[in-house]
Amino acid sequence: MTWWQGFVLGLVQGVTEFLPISSSGHLVVAETAIGLSTPGVVVEVALHVATLLAVVIVYWWRLWELVQGVLRNQRDAWRYVGLLAIATVPAGVVGILFADFFERVFDSLLTVGVDFVVTGFILWSTRAVALRASRPEPGVGSAVVIGFAQALAILPGISRSGTTVAAGLWRHVDPVRAAEFSFLMAIPTIAGAAVLQIPDLTGGIAAIGTGPLLLSFVTALIAGVFAIRLLVAVLRRRAFHRFAPYCWSIGLVTIAWALVR
Q: With 60 as the cut, is the pLDDT of residue 200 above it?
A: no
Mean pLDDT of the chain, nearest integer: 86
Q: Can you tell me the mean pLDDT for 220-226?
A: 95
3-18 helix and 23-33 helix, angle to the nearest 10 degrees: 160
* Residue 231 pLDDT level (bands cut at 50, 70, 90): very high
* Residue 182 pLDDT level (bands cut at 50, 70, 90): very high
Q: What is the pLDDT of residues 67-119, one digit of tens each?
A: 999 999 999 999 999 999 999 998 878 877 776 666 666 668 898 999 999 99
Please, where are the H alpha helices in 34-174? 42-58, 60-71, 75-97, 99-105, 109-124, 126-132, 140-152, 160-170
Residue 162 is predicted with a pLDDT of: 94
* Residue 134 pLDDT level (bands cut at 50, 70, 90): confident
| SS3 readout for 98-124 | CHHHHHHHCCCHHHHHHHHHHHHHHHH
Q: With 90 as the cut, is the pLDDT of residue 128 above it?
A: no
* Residue 226 pLDDT level (bands cut at 50, 70, 90): very high
How many Å is the Cα radius of gyration of the chain? Answer: 18
Neighbours of 74 (CB within 10 A): 14
Q: What is the pLDDT of residues 25-65, one digit of tens each?
A: 888 788 778 776 665 567 777 888 899 999 999 999 999 99
Amino acid (one-letter) located at 129: V
What phi and psi, each to the nearest 5 degrees, are found at residue 69?
A: -65, -40
Residue 48 is predicted with a pLDDT of: 82
Instruction: State whether the Cα torsion 105-108-113-114 is positive or negative.
Output: negative
Q: What is the pLDDT of residues 138-149, one digit of tens each?
A: 999 999 999 999
Instruction: Please give the Cα distance from 161 to 26 (Å, whole number).
Output: 14
Domain positions in the chain are 23-29+41-260
Which residues, in sequence order, are CB contacts of 248 under 8 Å at separation 6+?
116, 117, 120
- What is the share, in percent, of the chain residues with pLDDT greater than 70? 87
Cβ–Cβ under 8 Å, residues 18 and 231 = yes
Q: What is the pLDDT of residues 205-216, one digit of tens each?
A: 666 777 888 999
